[in-house]
Structure formats: structure tokens, C-alpha cells
């Protein structure tokens, strides 16, 4: 690995790096620095947890000169509100010895407050596509001075349906700019976006798309239903010495609330939950409590925890097999970060085996299946979608013609059918479809 001492950076950045204790650059940071400094369009593909944020932030800050202008010169787009706050905090740390002004904007909060902050001016603006587009369209935010555009976790943005906002933001930006895109996975949709809006981009790929971190041990359990998965998670989490800091992923908000309810009964206030229905302050507080260790267990969905840099997560639980294999890569990337060992536990039913095989095909390796604990309780409680369909065939107690004693025929006036009004019927009679149906020889044939 290259040392940061070999990088051509100013004293202020070097002091900040020393304060943070960084000594050696990761491969993506080493390869991206000179390319981004050259001004070329860049597409960076690296495993999650390898320092992608610092990889694009460091060269951009090195090239950012002091200015009192109001309009921002660097635009960074990220998929979630939590990631906005994280990137803003990191940039503030990197630029604490200089006069860099950075601002984060995102939905779920008062837009008027953010308008006032934007009007005060900034050098770097970090935002989610939806809120940033709203500010730009209202002309509160002027993008005419943007020299560098960064799209972080672009595959997540496209999964969340932000393509429309991204394309519209591109239209508002100056034609002469540097485009920088970073992602953990490369999909066909990302390729299409890159081909349309980037100019001969330099591709930096330090790991194949879909390659898991070698520091993560992966295992798989096959179970009969959802609540048996919850029982297994509860059984494992009772070992506090092994399962010290745990992130539990589920597929949707309802499942998150169900898992949280079950785990909170056993583990009490050491369990937290975040998803899209929670308020912004609640979610920020939950992440802080988890980061500090107040919460030993955090239940979340794909949207809320993607890309977050949470320290030393020992285990990631997947209580469902993700529909898209790339999502699995993002999930397990929350553990095994910064040279720490991590563990991933995948739980699936017989119906999810095909999706598990798709993940293994993407990674080009198999996930070892483990035996279930002998004392594991198999749940009889089922989700609504797991309930079997009960079809009663030839039930002698329910005959179709047995309508009960209270049944009576409708009165004649109640049997009338609404034909659309007499006016419509008369018009329909008057203007019938032509008998000729466009046949030019109809009249000639009928005269004979």
C-alpha cells in the first residue's frame, strides 16, 4: 500500500490526515488520486468498506482553492439522508484546517431552513437527488458554478428510482465539468448511465463487481418460515460475547417492525430499528445509539443502512435472501471493514434457494450451509403471505343453492340495470356503425 506521505497534498490536508491517524492509502484511494486530479471523468468500482468516500474527497479538496462565492463548486449526490450526514461530517474532518464550507441537503426536513442555509453560500454541497432537484428548480440553488460532480453509490440510487431526478440534474449542470462515479457494484443500468453522460471515463476497478471481502466469513441456514428465522436470530444473539454488534437486515418496513417487536421482548432496550416510516431525528438517534454501543442490535431495511460507515460491526444477519444479488453485497459490506474480521449470516426458506444460488453465482463462490441448533423452536406462527390457502371442496354443509331463511328475491324495481340514460341509447340508435365498414364496392355489389 502507498503511504499518504507520498501524495502531493497541501499542509492543511496533511495535518487532517495525521489527526485522523491515516498512514496508508487503500488501493482505490491510491489509484483514484492522480486520475481525479487530472480532471478526467472517473468511474470507480471497489468493494464496500475500502474507503471510496476518501478516495474522491481527498483529490477534490486538494484542488479546491479559497473563494468567497456563494454558489457551490462541487456537487456530491448520495442515495440516503443518513449518507448525506456522514459524508458532510467526513468532509468537515478532512478540511478542518482549512476554510472549506460544506452543506448537506435532504428530504424529510423543512426545505425553507435549507433554502436559508444555501443562500449563505458553500463550496461543496452534498444531497439526495430529490431534495437537491427541488432546490435547483426553485432557483434557490444555482448549479452554474459546479466544476466537479460526484455520484456515490449510484447503483443504489437507480434501485431507488432516482434516475429521473439524476437526468434532470445533469441538464441543469454546466456542460464543462468533471464527472466522478463510485459504486460497489456495476449493473447494466449503471453502464447505460455512464455511456450516456460521461466522456471517455477512466475506469478504476480494484475488485470485480460482486466480489466479497475476504475478511467476511459467510454462513447459511435454511428454515421453514419467517418467525423460525427470528427464533434462530434470538437463539444466536443470546451469546453476547460472540455477537457483540449486530445489524439485522429485512426486506421491508413491516418485517422490520415485526422483528424489532420480537427481539425487544427478549433483549429490551439494547435493540433499535430504523426504516423509512421513522422520523429523521429518530433514525439519526438510532444510528448514533448503535454506533456508541447503546444498541447491540439494530434492525433495518436495505434503504436505510446502505453505504453507512458504522464502526466494528461483528455480525450482519440477513433474515431474507435479497431479490437482487448486488443488495446482498451491500449488506455484508457493513461488516469486515478497515481490516476487521466480519461475519455474515444468511437465512432463507426453500422458496428462496434460487435467489441464494444467484448470489453465489455473482460472487463465484458458495456459502456454507450450517446445521440448525437442536433446541431451536420451529415457529407455528406464520406471516399472512405464508398462510396456506384453504379450499373447501364438496362441503356438504355449504350447498350453492342453500341461501338461508333470510334470503328473498329482489323487487322488480331493484332489478333494473343502468344502461347509461335514455339520451345515450337514442344517440346510439341514430348513429350506428356503418354497414359498409370501409368497403368501397359495397354499394356496387348490392345494386346487382
pLDDT for residue 447: 56
At 84, is the secondary structure helix, strand, or coil? helix
Phi-psi region of 373 (alpha: psi -120 to 50; beta: other; left: phi over 0): beta
**Burial tier of 398 (Cβ tally within 10 Å: 0-12, 13-18, 19+):** exposed
Average pLDDT on 136-152 reads 94
pLDDT for residue 355: 94
Band (424; pLDDT cuts 50, 70, 90) = low
Angstrom distances, CA of residue 143 to CA of 65, 106, 135, 146, 349: 18, 16, 10, 6, 49
Ranked by mean pLDDT, the top range of 145-149, 271-275, 326-330 is: 145-149
pLDDT for residue 276: 78
Band (311; pLDDT cuts 50, 70, 90) = confident
**Burial tier of 257 (Cβ tally within 10 Å: 0-12, 13-18, 19+):** middle
User: What's the mean per-residue pLDDT of the chain?
Assistant: 86
Angstrom distances, CA of residue 194 to CA of 33, 36, 151, 187: 20, 16, 11, 11
- pLDDT over 70 (residue 414): yes
In the chain, where does the domain assigned CATH 3.40.50.300 lie? 4-205, 216-378
pLDDT for residue 391: 60
Percent of the chain at pLDDT above 70?
Answer: 85
| CATH for 4-205 (3.40.50.300, 3.20.20.80, 3.40.50.2300, 3.40.50.1950) | 3.40.50.300
First to last CA, the chain: 97
- pLDDT over 70 (residue 150): yes
Q: What is the pTM of this model?
A: 0.71
pLDDT for residue 177: 93
Three cell numbers, residue 58: 481527498
Choice between 230 and 50, residue whose per-residue pLDDT is larger: 230
pLDDT for residue 183: 78
Choice between 209 and 313, residue whose per-residue pLDDT is larger: 313
Closest Cα to residue 57, out of 1, 3, 11, 95? 95
CATH superfamily of this structure's domain 216-378? P-loop containing nucleotide triphosphate hydrolases (3.40.50.300)
Amino acid at each position: 500500500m502507498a503511504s499518504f506521505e507520498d501524495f502531493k497534498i497541501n499542509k492543511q490536508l496533511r495535518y487532517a490526515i495525521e489527526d485522523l491517524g491515516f498512514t496508508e492509502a487503500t488501493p482505490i484511494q491510491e489509484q483514484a488520486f492522480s486520475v481525479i486530479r487530472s480532471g478526467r471523468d472517473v468511474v470507480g468500482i471497489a468493494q464496500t468498506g475500502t474507503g471510496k468516500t476518501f478516495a474522491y474527497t481527498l483529490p477534490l479538496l486538494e484542488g479546491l482553492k479559497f473563494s468567497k462565492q456563494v454558489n457551490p463548486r462541487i456537487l456530491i449526490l448520495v442515495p440516503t439522508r443518513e449518507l448525506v450526514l456522514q459524508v458532510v461530517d467526513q468532509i468537515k474532518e478532512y478540511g478542518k484546517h482549512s476554510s472549506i464550507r460544506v452543506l448537506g441537503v435532504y428530504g424529510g426536513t423543512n426545505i425553507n431552513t435549507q433554502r436559508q442555509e444555501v443562500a449563505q453560500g458553500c463550496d461543496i454541497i452534498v444531497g439526495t437527488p430529490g431534495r437537491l432537484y427541488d432546490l435547483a428548480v426553485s432557483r434557490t440553488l444555482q448549479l452554474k458554478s459546479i466544476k466537479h460532480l460526484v455520484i456515490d453509490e449510484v447503483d443504489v440510487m437507480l434501485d431507488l428510482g432516482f434516475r429521473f431526478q439524476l437526468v434532470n440534474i445533469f441538464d441543469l449542470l454546466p456542460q464543462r465539468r468533471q464527472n466522478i462515479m463510485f459504486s460497489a457494484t456495476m449493473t447494466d443500468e449503471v453502464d447505460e448511465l455512464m455511456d450516456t453522460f460521461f466522456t471517455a471515463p477512466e475506469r478504476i476497478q480494484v475488485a470485480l463487481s460482486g466480489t466479497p471481502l475476504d475478511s467476511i466469513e459467510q454462513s447459511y441456514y435454511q428454515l421453514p418460515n419467517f418467525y423460525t428465522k427470528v427464533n434462530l436470530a434470538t437463539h444466536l444473539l443470546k451469546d453476547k460475547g460472540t455477537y457483540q454488534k449486530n445489524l439485522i437486515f429485512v426486506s421491508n418496513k413491516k418485517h422490520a417492525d415485526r422483528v424489532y417487536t420480537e427481539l425487544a421482548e427478549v433483549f429490551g432496550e439494547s435493540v433499535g430499528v430504523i426504516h423509512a416510516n421513522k422520523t429523521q431525528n429518530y433514525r439519526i438517534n438510532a444510528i448514533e445509539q448503535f454506533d456508541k454501543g447503546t444498541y447491540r442490535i439494530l434492525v433495518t431495511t436495505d434503504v436505510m443502512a446502505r453505504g453507512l460507515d458504522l464502526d466494528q460491526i461483528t455480525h450482519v444477519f440477513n433474515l431474507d435472501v435479497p431479490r437482487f444479488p448486488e443488495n446482498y453485497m451491500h449488506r455484508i459490506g457493513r461488516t469486515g471493514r478497515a481490516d476487521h474480521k466480519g461475519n455474515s449470516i444468511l437465512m432463507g426458506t426453500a422458496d428462496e434457494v434460487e435467489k441464494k444460488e444467484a448470489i453465489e453465482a455473482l460472487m463465484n463462490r458458495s456459502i456454507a450451509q450450517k446445521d440448525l441448533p437442536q433446541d431451536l423452536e420451529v415457529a407455528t406462527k406464520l406471516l399472512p403471505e405464508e398462510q396456506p390457502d384453504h379450499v373447501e371442496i364438496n362441503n356438504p354443509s355449504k350447498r350453492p343453492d342453500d341461501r338461508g331463511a333470510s334470503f328473498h328475491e329482489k323487487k322488480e324495481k331493484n332489478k333494473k340495470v343502468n344502461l347509461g340514460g335514455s339520451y345515450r341509447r337514442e344517440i346510439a340508435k341514430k348513429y350506428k356503425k356503418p354497414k359498409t365498414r370501409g368497403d368501397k364496392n359495397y354499394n356496387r355489389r348490392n345494386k346487382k
